[in-house]
Amino acid sequence: MLKTRFTEMFGVDHPVVQGGMMWVGTAELVSAVANSGALGFLTALTQPTPEALSKEIARCREMTDRKFGVNLTILPSINPPPYAEYRAAIIESGIEVVETAGYKPQEHVDHFKQHRIKVIHKCTAVRHALSAEHMGVDAVSIDGFECAGHPGEDDIPGLILIPAAADKVTIPILASGGFGDGRGLAAALALGAEGINMGTRFCATREAPIHENFKQAMVANDERATDLIFRSYRNTARVARNAVSEQVVAAEAEGKPFEEIAHLVKGARGKEGLDSGELDHGIWSAGMIQGLIHDVPSCAELVHRIVADAETIISQRLADMLTQQPEAVA
């Protein structure tokens, strides 16, 4: 069994995390991840109200007796969700671990820490990771350019970003973006991370609450099957390539304002597609790791395979590369 600072600090069996994902981080997936010995996160804002989040936490507890957390993503908005009420629902439900992401999380981190809740903050740059450490979070998830969702604007891939963060950050680091198998876990540990955070790979599991068409699309797609949208608005997002994402990219190339594409990228439209199985209904997040997704296993099968393969790589393949020092000739 792989033991790292992350597994010891957060009380899980394996250094594998399922991060928060809009529309996907529900009790079905999170409980399956938890039962596998990894750490899963419900997505708070997937639930329409704080009261609904409390019910989802309770529902997840009915499906697992293992530890799981809640993701709370903070984004700048003219009409923000009632974040304080969502925080209260998390705290009152007895959640022990929160994953934060997004804009100016200090208020939220402080509140959670007052209640002895461990906080993992998602970052896309070393400077952001250092800022999060100074805020008092317990760990950071560092997202490389390969990731689905928002990779930031620096375009630094994980092979550089992870060790660059490990050189400067003293709290545990989770490597995120482009991870989905044992080779990735072994590499992340070698680069200085204490575990991996996966999103897209967990979407292609039997328990993920999305239509089978999307799971099979991720199996069929290769590593090139993504688009970067919102680049011209300085809010880059990596999504699976489809008719809608190509339309958005074309509109941005013509200099169109966001208002002219807003109807294409609405979250509700994307959710309708995930439910109906229509791949071209809206945009949907997926990372470059699609090129390494070849099946749709259960969460338990996936996590155990990743950990076992990483252990084999570390203990056998890499060890076999170490040559014995030749004996000195008398």
Do 22 and 134 lie in one domain? The reply is: yes
* Residue 251, in any domain of the structure: yes
What are φ and ψ of residue 80, in 5° steps?
-70, 155
* Residue 77, in any domain of the structure: yes
**Would you tell me how many other CB atoms lie within 10 Å of the CB of residue 75?**
12
d(C-alpha 153, C-alpha 167), whole Å = 21
Do 265 and 307 lie in one domain? The reply is: no
Question: What pLDDT, in 10s, does the model give residues 195-248?
Answer: 999 999 999 999 999 999 999 999 999 999 999 999 999 999 999 999 999 999
Do 179 and 230 lie in one domain? The reply is: no
Do 181 and 109 lie in one domain? The reply is: yes
* Residue 60, in any domain of the structure: yes
d(C-alpha 109, C-alpha 104), whole Å = 10
Q: What pLDDT score does 56 carry?
A: 98
Q: What pLDDT score does 325 carry?
A: 63
User: Domain of 16?
Assistant: 5-209+293-312
Q: Is the pLDDT of residue 327 over 70?
A: no
Do 250 and 194 lie in one domain? The reply is: no
Q: What pLDDT score does 129 carry?
A: 98
Do 34 and 101 lie in one domain? The reply is: yes
**Number of domains within the chain:** 2
* Residue 322, in any domain of the structure: no
Q: Is the pLDDT of residue 326 over 90?
A: no
Question: What pLDDT, in 10s, does the model give residues 143-202?
Answer: 999 999 999 999 999 999 999 999 999 999 999 999 999 999 999 999 999 999 999 999
Distances (CA, A) of 44 to 50, 107, 146, 319: 8, 17, 24, 43
In the chain, the N- to C-terminal Cα span, in Å, equals 43
Do 113 and 202 lie in one domain? The reply is: yes
Question: What pLDDT, in 10s, does the model give residues 276-314?
Answer: 999 999 999 999 999 999 999 999 999 999 999 999 999
* Residue 145, in any domain of the structure: yes
| Token pair for 51 | 């009261």
Do 22 and 90 lie in one domain? The reply is: yes
* Residue 287, in any domain of the structure: no
* Pairwise pLDDT comparison (318 vs 224), residue with the higher score: 224
What CATH number did the domain enclosing 15 receive? 3.20.20.70
Q: What pLDDT score does 319 carry?
A: 87
Q: What pLDDT score does 293 carry?
A: 98
Q: What pLDDT score does 114 carry?
A: 97
Do 188 and 269 lie in one domain? The reply is: no
* Residue 128, in any domain of the structure: yes
* Residue 301, in any domain of the structure: yes
Contact 135, 104 (CB under 8 A): no
* Pairwise pLDDT comparison (133 vs 104), residue with the higher score: 133
Do 136 and 98 lie in one domain? The reply is: yes
Do 167 and 198 lie in one domain? The reply is: yes
Question: What pLDDT, in 10s, does the model give residues 47-88?
Answer: 999 999 999 999 999 999 999 999 999 987 778 999 999 999
Do 237 and 191 lie in one domain? The reply is: no
Distances (CA, A) of 197 to 24, 38, 71, 132: 15, 10, 13, 17
